[in-house]
Amino acid sequence: MKLLLDECVTSYLKPEYVGHEVSTIGEAGLRGLKNGNLLRAASGHFDVLITVDQNLQYQQNLKGSSIAILVLKAKRSTFPFLQPLIPKALHMIETIEPGTVIVISQDS
């Protein structure tokens, strides 16, 4: 899978997604794009956008989109808080469908 780490996600997570092609927003040349524009620009190039923006799923209509969104929900968006969510994220990435949103937290 081709994964895109949102600007709000620490790049320290990049090596944690073993077996996947992972790019940051900067590496993809998409820095500065927000929500809808970002999703449109990433669609067709990436399979999953990984973000910590819990509002994105309510702000965008993903129906018919070719990209899925994986939201990492933690107390803080730093590596020590997000890293424990990676095993669940890796599992969900295997079954996530385009146009869907999955939220992963310690409680899920």
What is the band of 11 on the pLDDT scale with cuts at 50, 70, 90?
Answer: very high
Non-local (6+) Cβ contacts of 70 within 8 A are 48, 49, 50, 51, 89, 92, 93, 96, 101, 102, 104
The Cα–Cα gap between 41 and 39 comes to: 5
What local confidence, expressed as pLDDT, does residue 29 receive? 95
Domain segments of the chain as ranges? 2-105
Taking the complete model, does pTM exceed 0.85, yes or no? yes
Give me 45's structure tokens. 């190039």
What local confidence, expressed as pLDDT, does residue 2 receive? 97
Q: What share of the chain has pLDDT > 90, as a percent?
A: 70
Evaluate if residue 21 carries a pLDDT over 90.
yes
Which residue's entry shows tokens 């993903």?
62
